[in-house]
């Protein structure tokens, strides 16, 4: 469950990401009544099994819910919740189609499972959290939105990369730069480590503050230049 909002007197509209059909919109009728049979199972970040009725409209109707994992440990801690909502918004913006994507679904479930146990780093910014950054870099990579950062897109050298130049579609070196988004060698190492480390180990990957800030700059620029959007949760 990625997001929900109030709909009419007692209903909610849910945006969910499913294993077999990708992004789905559904209405949970009567959920806001105290005696709703759906109870508190349909909360953002929860992992559920849904039974859906396909009506004539765009939204399906929820007819049954069983809980796989409530992820309440993530929702009850403000820092973890903020990290979770960054991940949920990234899914919502990058995966808008009703089309199954097994790797994206698996990444989402791993992200949510790990989120329950990450250390609360408040007052650090949730947008700089290694798990949040790792998840977004992996989603960007799966979507084909992640720029080429291994060598200079202009001249091909692999050393001395200083920034990301969206108009050229990748990293640039000192001679071809400066690029629109500057990054340090530490940032480049951080991005590559986060991409190659399993989500569960993102917190132990040794990401430095500078590395995290550079990774966030590349993530933000990738959304902006490849997808044409910004994540609201990242500016919080
Ligand atoms: Zn170059």
**pLDDT per residue as tens, the chain (236 positions):** 999 999 988 899 999 999 999 999 999 998 888 777 776 788 999 999 999 998 777 899 999 999 999 999 999 999 999 999 999 999 999 999 999 999 999 999 999 999 999 998 888 899 999 999 999 999 999 998 888 888 999 999 999 999 998 888 889 999 998 888 998 989 999 999 999 999 999 999 999 999 999 999 999 999 998 889 999 999 86
Q: Residue 147 Cα, ligand 1 centroid: separation in angstroms?
A: 15
Q: Residue 162 Cα, ligand 1 centroid: separation in angstroms?
A: 10
Q: Residue 172 Cα, ligand 1 centroid: separation in angstroms?
A: 5
Decide if 90 contacts 232 (C-beta within 8 A). Answer: no
Q: Residue 68 Cα, ligand 1 centroid: separation in angstroms?
A: 50
Q: Residue 173 Cα, ligand 1 centroid: separation in angstroms?
A: 4
Instruction: Calculate the alpha carbon distances from 213 to 54, 73, 127 in Å.
Output: 44, 26, 9
Q: Residue 153 Cα, ligand 1 centroid: separation in angstroms?
A: 7
Cut 0.85: pTM above it: yes
Q: Residue 182 Cα, ligand 1 centroid: separation in angstroms?
A: 14
Residue 231: per-residue pLDDT: 96
Residue 31: per-residue pLDDT: 85
Q: Residue 179 Cα, ligand 1 centroid: separation in angstroms?
A: 10
Q: What is d(CA 7, CA 29) in angstroms, rounded to the nearest whole number?
A: 9
């Amino acid at each position: 469950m990625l997001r929900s909002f109030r709909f009419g007197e007692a209903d909610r509209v849910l945006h969910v990401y499913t294993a077999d059909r990708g992004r789905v919109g559904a209405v949970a009728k009567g959920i806001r009544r105290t005696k709703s049979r759906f109870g508190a199972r349909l909360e953002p970040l929860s992992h559920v099994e849904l039974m859906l009725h396909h009506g004539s409209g765009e939204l399906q109707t929820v007819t049954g819910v069983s809980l796989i994992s409530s992820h309440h440990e993530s929702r009850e801690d403000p820092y973890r919740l903020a990290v979770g909502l960054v991940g949920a918004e990234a899914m919502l913006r990058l995966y808008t189609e009703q089309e199954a994507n097994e790797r994206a679904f698996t990444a989402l479930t791993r992200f949510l499972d790990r989120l329950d146990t990450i250390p609360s780093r408040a007052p650090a910014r949730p947008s700089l959290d290694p798990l949040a950054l790792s998840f977004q870099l992996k989603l960007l990579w799966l979507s084909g939105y992640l720029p080429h950062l291994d060598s200079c897109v202009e001249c091909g050298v692999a050393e001395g990369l200083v920034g990301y130049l969206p108009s050229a579609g990748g990293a640039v070196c000192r001679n071809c730069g400066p690029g629109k988004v500057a990054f340090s060698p530490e940032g480049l190492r951080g991005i590559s480590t986060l991409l190659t480390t399993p989500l569960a180990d993102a917190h132990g990957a040794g990401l430095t503050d500078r590395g995290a800030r550079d990774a966030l700059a590349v993530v933000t620029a990738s959304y902006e230049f490849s997808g044409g959007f910004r994540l609201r949760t990242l500016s919080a």
